[in-house]
Chains A and B, each alone.
Chain A
């Protein structure tokens, strides 16, 4: 399974909304509703932001939302804040009982 495709970077001003796409194939993103999203800050443990495509774990701000259409999943961050500046990765269960991650997106708050 090849890595899912994400934009290398996305930027926005404080208060704006941004959307990160995660494009796969019918063998991974299109195959499963089990898409999750992770936030990575340097030197910190990665944090789960979205699971099962659009569910938020307890403690994650409702500014983060997830969706999926066909072979593309998306993470939207609304009301962008300085603390949202991080790398974000999508992940999905794929045919062959394996998990595949996206290529990662660096979010910059201007």
Chain B
């Protein structure tokens, strides 16, 4: 079955860059759109952006200046970089597949804490 697995450091220092990777298995990474979504404590879910297999991106305007997404189709994975992080970026980060106008498959999520 389709599986997404997030990986990356669980602790990032303030003003640093958060870097996560999502590895896709059970389906082709090609011809799909892929997103990053986060859940902050008490704040609910927030869409960060999406990338297609050609590398075209759309970012949440509220984070646009700090977010970069990339994709490596040969390794079946896509990545998120969020720069200049603060405590407000502490969250569970999910990757998800976007198809039929919804996020139909999600990873289990990975907790990232911003702290010195």
Per the CB 8 Å criterion, the residue count for chain B at the interface is: 23
Q: What does the 1/0 interface line of A98-110 toward B look like (CB < 8 Å)?
A: 1111111000000
Taking a contact as CB atoms under 8 Å apart, the answer to whether A101 and B102 are in contact is no
**Docked pose: A103 CA to B102 CA in angstroms:** 17
Partner of A101, one of B46, B61, B101: B46
Most buried by A among B44, B102, B108: B102
Q: Which chain A residue lies CB-closest to B46?
A: A101
Per the CB 8 Å criterion, the residue count for chain A at the interface is: 28
Known pairs A36-B101, A48-B104, A97-B58; A91 contacts B45 (CB<8 A)? yes
**Docked pose: A28 CA to B51 CA in angstroms:** 21
Q: Which A residues are CB-close (under 8 A) to B47?
A: 91, 98-101
Partner of A45, one of B100, B102, B107: B107
Q: Which chain B residues (62-116) contact chain A, with CB distance < 8 Å?
A: 94, 96, 100-109
Partner of A38, one of B101, B103, B107: B103
Q: Which A residues are CB-close (under 8 A) to B96?
A: 46
**Docked pose: A1 CA to B94 CA in angstroms:** 20
A51 lies within 8 A of chain B by Cβ: yes
Known pairs A46-B94, A52-B101, A104-B44; A98 contacts B106 (CB<8 A)? no
Q: Which chain B residues (23-78) contact chain A, with CB distance < 8 Å?
A: 35, 37, 39, 44-47, 58, 60-61
Taking a contact as CB atoms under 8 Å apart, the answer to whether A104 and B102 are in contact is no
Q: What does the 1/0 interface line of A67-110 toward B look like (CB < 8 Å)?
A: 00000000000000000000001010100111111111000000
**Docked pose: A21 CA to B96 CA in angstroms:** 24
Q: Give me the 10 closest cross-chain CB pairs, A-B, nearest first.
A: A51-B102, A36-B102, A101-B45, A99-B47, A34-B101, A45-B106, A104-B44, A46-B106, A48-B104, A45-B108
> 5 A-B residue contacts at CB 8 Å?
A38-B103, A89-B45, A96-B61, A101-B44, A104-B45
16 more CB-based (< 8 A) A-B contacts, given A46-B94, A91-B45: A36-B101, A38-B45, A38-B103, A43-B108, A44-B108, A45-B108, A46-B96, A47-B106, A48-B102, A51-B104, A89-B45, A91-B102, A98-B47, A98-B60, A101-B37, A101-B45
